[in-house]
């Protein structure tokens, strides 16, 4: 089909029976196009001509959710910034790369001139909500639902789909390998002088050890130094050193291989080791058991592969049926395309906001400098509001508008700057908003999608970023607290294992005391 994906789609093309549950995040739910006869591969031709299925891939539907009225604490839902506007106005300008987001096509749902439209919703939305409800993760079903009043849904690239080459009115599946990597934190913070002794005491760790590897100790303090050294390190992945990048990819492969006992389950969320998840889990419906680290996921021709299925990659990679041959070809393929792209470097820059403990120190300074309305009120922890908190603190922690975020990131690293933005940089709120935006980049996923058109030519590759929804300012306290706990756990692990710094390298390395 020429001109795919389409630039516009009509709601009359939507039929609930042609869609199934794909994935779910904090704000949206994803549906996969299965066609009129999903259970009959022999009748695949029934999907030929559908705008949701093309030679280059397929489209999924992103449907907005809302909190249940009887949800947690019965509190009203905080208004959310539109994800699509946030990505186009904030994410893309910061990245400086316009082609790394999946294609998105809006589908407007027609309005009905009835008094109860918001209670009943659009027929497609109502029908699909009933159809997929049992497929959703149980914990999600307890707190939210598809928004029946949605007037707009989005068709987005299904990055795991194989698409179909159309020949003589038959749809023939193409060979597609999709690799999802969750890069995590790709930078070491540039720490300025701290006035708080406890904050300053964490600097040696933060300036030399990646946040992700410290977090792994927080989760599993029983790891030995040797085991810890073999873990995936985001700093290696983002380096321009081929040996270090390959070491990172090999660590990801080894963790993926250990998922041999995992059973893919539609709708499980990603393993949120950052503590920052509230966005879409696009194309991440199949996940490993909760205790696994799923920073690498592999999909072949639309199907999720767990580690014990490595042999399925043999034909696509055109290698012998040997795990070492498959592994080396897989690593070679990823390495060549990652090093040819500036994406990891741009991500690292966009992630590198101020350290959250320093922001917490600034919060404490602010609270001390502002009179409180209640003389007897106790001071709150950083980023927490209590009765009697200062008006300045309340203003700082208010959820931002899209325009505020745009103005705040104008003075973020790598972005354009002007006088208004420079003045804004002086405010504590601007620094907090920059940190909130950086959190989106820290929790995103990268998809490398390879299409093989013939046996003789190498696969074509495209790289996309997903999970780029805005994060709430209200999460700052949670992030501050987990950051403290991570460093404290790591410090205790270093002391328990009698480790010391080797300062002959940059950054420093941890070694066993002699």
What are the residues whose beta carbons fall under 8 Å from the beta carbon of 63, sequence distance 6 or more?
28, 29, 30, 31, 125, 128, 146, 147, 150, 153
Span 230-253, average pLDDT? 97
More confident residue, 109 or 233: 233
More confident residue, 245 or 420: 245
pLDDT-derived band of residue 305, with 50, 70 and 90 as boundaries?
very high
30-44, 135-149, 301-315, 341-355: least confident range: 30-44
Q: Residue 55: is it exposed, middle or buried by C-beta count within 10 angstroms (0-12/13-18/19+)?
A: middle
Global pTM reads 0.85
Closest CA to 295 of 248, 342, 332, 230: 248
pLDDT reported for residue 162: 80
Residue 295 phi, psi dihedral angles, 5° rounding: -80, -10
- List, for residues 166-219, the tens digit of each pLDDT value: 554 555 567 899 999 999 999 998 877 766 777 888 899 999 999 999 999 999
pLDDT reported for residue 25: 81
Spell 109-120 as b/e; 16+ CB within 10 A means b.
beeeeeeeeeee
Residue 103 · residue 57 · CB < 8 Å = no
What length is written for the chain?
Answer: 514
CA dihedral 215, 221, 222, 226 (to 10 degrees): 50
Structural domains of the chain, with CATH: 11-173 (3.30.200.110), 181-350+445-512 (no CATH), 352-440 (no CATH)
pLDDT-derived band of residue 77, with 50, 70 and 90 as boundaries?
low
Residue 40's alpha-carbon distances to 36, 37, 161, 255, 488, in angstroms, are 9, 6, 17, 35, 55
283-297, 308-322, 357-371, 440-454: least confident range: 283-297
Residue 60 · residue 157 · CB < 8 Å = yes
Q: Is the pLDDT of residue 503 over 90?
A: yes
pLDDT-derived band of residue 395, with 50, 70 and 90 as boundaries?
confident
pLDDT reported for residue 394: 83
In angstroms, the first-to-last Cα distance of the chain is 67
pLDDT reported for residue 71: 44
What mean pLDDT value characterizes the chain? 82
pLDDT-derived band of residue 381, with 50, 70 and 90 as boundaries?
confident
Q: Is the pLDDT of residue 122 over 90?
A: no
Span 309-320, average pLDDT? 96
Residue 419's alpha-carbon distances to 96, 411, 416, 422, 431, in angstroms, are 21, 10, 11, 5, 16
């Amino acid at each position: 089909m020429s001109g795919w994906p389409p630039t516009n789609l009509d709601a009359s093309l939507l039929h609930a029976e042609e869609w199934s549950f794909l994935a779910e995040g904090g704000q949206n739910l994803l549906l996969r196009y299965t066609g009129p006869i999903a259970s009959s591969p022999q009748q695949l031709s029934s999907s030929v001509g559908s705008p949701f299925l093309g030679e280059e891939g397929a489209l999924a539907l992103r449907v907005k959710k809302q909190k249940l009225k009887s949800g947690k604490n019965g509190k009203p839902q905080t208004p959310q910034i539109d994800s699509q506007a946030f990505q186009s106005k904030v994410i893309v300008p910061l990245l400086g790369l316009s082609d790394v987001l999946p294609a998105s096509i809006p589908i407007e749902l027609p309005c009905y001139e009835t008094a109860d439209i918001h209670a009943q919703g659009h027929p497609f939305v109502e029908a699909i909500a009933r159809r997929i409800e049992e497929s959703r993760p149980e914990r999600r079903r307890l707190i939210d639902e598809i928004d029946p009043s949605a007037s707009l849904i989005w068709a987005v690239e299904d990055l795991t789909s194989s698409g179909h080459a159309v020949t003589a009115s038959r749809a023939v599946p193409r060979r597609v390998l999709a690799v999802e990597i969750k890069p995590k934190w790709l930078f070491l913070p540039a720490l300025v002088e701290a006035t708080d002794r406890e904050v300053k005491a964490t600097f040696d760790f933060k300036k030399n050890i990646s946040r992700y590897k410290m977090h792994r100790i927080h989760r599993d303090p029983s790891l030995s130094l040797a085991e810890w050294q073999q873990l995936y390190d985001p700093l290696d992945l983002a380096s321009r050193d081929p040996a270090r990048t390959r070491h990172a990819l090999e660590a990801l492969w080894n963790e993926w291989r250990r998922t041999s006992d995992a059973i893919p389950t539609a709708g499980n969320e990603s393993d949120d080791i950052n503590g920052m998840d509230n966005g879409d889990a696009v194309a991440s419906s199949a996940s490993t058991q909760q205790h696994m680290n799923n920073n690498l996921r592999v999909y072949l021709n639309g199907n999720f592969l767990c580690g014990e299925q490595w042999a399925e990659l043999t034909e696509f990679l055109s290698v012998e049926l040997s795990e070492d041959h498959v592994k080396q070809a897989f690593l070679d393929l990823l390495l060549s395309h990652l090093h040819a792209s500036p994406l990891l470097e741009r991500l690292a820059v966009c992630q590198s906001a101020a350290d959250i403990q320093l922001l917490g120190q600034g919060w404490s300074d602010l609270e001390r400098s502002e009179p409180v309305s209640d003389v007897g009120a106790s001071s709150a922890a950083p980023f927490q509001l209590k009765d009697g908190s200062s008006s300045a603190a309340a203003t700082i922690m208010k959820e931002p508008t899209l325009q505020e975020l745009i103005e705040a990131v104008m003075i973020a690293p790598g972005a354009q700057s002007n006088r208004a933005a420079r003045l804004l940089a002086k405010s504590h709120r601007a620094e907090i908003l920059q940190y909130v935006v950086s959190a989106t980049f820290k929790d995103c996923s990268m998809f490398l999608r390879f299409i093989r058109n013939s046996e003789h030519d190498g696969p074509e590759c495209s790289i996309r970023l997903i999970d780029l929804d805005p994060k709430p300012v209200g999460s700052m306290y949670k992030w501050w607290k987990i950051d403290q706990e991570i460093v404290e756990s790591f410090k205790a692990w270093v002391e328990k294992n009698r480790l010391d710094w080797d300062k002959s390298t940059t950054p420093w390395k941890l070694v066993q005391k002699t």
